[in-house]
Amino acid sequence: MDAHRIVETATPLQHLSRLSDHLGIELFAKRDDLAGPSFGGNKSRQLEYYFGDALVQGADTILITGAVQSNYVRIAAAVANTLGLDCIVQLEQRVDTKSPVYAASGNVLLNQLLGAEVMTYPEGEDEDGADRALEARASDLRAEGKRPYVIHLGETHPPLGALGYVDAAHEILKQRDDFDAFIVASGSGSTHSGLLAGLRGAGHMAPVYGSCVRRAADVQSARLKRIIQRLTTLYEGAAKVDDRDIQVWDGALAPGYGKVGPPAMEAMTLMARYTGLILDPVYTAKAFAAVPALIRDGTIKQGARVCFVHTGGAAGVFAYQDVLSDALSSS
């Protein structure tokens, strides 16, 4: 499978010394917040194989779906610009909010700056319906003589995005191969499943804990099993993943996708004040919240070497200005 390289050099693996001392572990951050275009993020890796496929097919227009504050669609628009491709982003209404800041700031503003055409889709839990809407738009474009390429949202399509995190797993192991545990956000499942498959394919058996950001643990676990099964057709190392390898934690999921609960707020504050790194409230804050929680319950032992995959999302922080300001002022 061809890839268009968006992440041209290895992202840093940073030892977080003060936070390590505070937590009693050896904590490292895989700085994928620095991956790809401005504001970066894990979606840069996920898009490499989609754009590679699109270029092989001679596409001139990229169509992609995400939430209103999606990092995925914002990075797709940025990469499309570097290649001279048009980009149509479809924004789903996943978060029940009437905040004018959420609707206009963060990634929404960046999509406008990048010049992407914006569509909307009214449902936030209808992946197949969102894909059908993009296919209908693609059909219209073909009638106009264009060559569209749809990056599907539904999990029944080949998980090309997971291949980017197979590569990332190998990149991490070249930097350091003695981790006792990995922590990553688990949303669409592409980053989590790709990282897990890449590690197991390389013979590394440390647990990968996915912190749920969109679905409850039982639902997310089942989704990951299906994605990994499909991934075996693209990467044979995925066949080395056992069902018992799929570890998910949903202690920071409430009050739901795109909403900030106490564990996420505490995680953002802890990371910022001990390391200066900024987590976003949708993905990375809920992911990092798993670290102190798993230490407290004994899942992660004192002195363990832990890799936290910082998947980025900083642009989205500004869309939560009102929520975060209220929480910080009352703390």
**pLDDT tens column, 23-58:** 999 999 999 999 999 999 999 999 999 999 999 999
| 8-state DSSP, 279 | P
Structural domains present in the chain: 13-41+158-329 (3.40.50.1100), 43-151 (3.40.50.1100)
> Which residues are known to be catalytic?
70
pLDDT reading at 8 higher than 80: yes
As a whole number, mean pLDDT of residues 122-140 equals 96
pLDDT at 305: 98
Q: Is residue 331's pLDDT more than 90?
A: no
| Helix 160-175 × helix 217-231 angle, to 10° | 90
Distance CA 316, CA 310 (A): 14
Instruction: For residue 326, count CB atoms less than 10 angstroms from its CB and return exposed for 0-12, middle for 13-18, buried for 19 or more.
Output: exposed
8 A C-beta contact, residue 280 and residue 185 = no
- With a pLDDT cut of 90, the percent of the chain lying above it is 97
pLDDT digits (tens, 9 = 90+) for 58-98: 999 999 999 999 999 999 999 999 999 999 999 999 999 99
Mean pLDDT rounded to a whole number for the chain? 97
Cα distance between residue 240 and residue 200, in whole Å: 6
Angle 76-96-215 (CA atoms, 0-180°, nearest 5)? Answer: 70
Q: Identify the residue with better confidence: 231 or 326.
A: 231
Rounded to a whole number, what is the distance in angstroms from the first to the last CA of the chain? 49
Strand arrangement, sheet containing 148-151:
117-121, 86-92, 61-67, 148-151
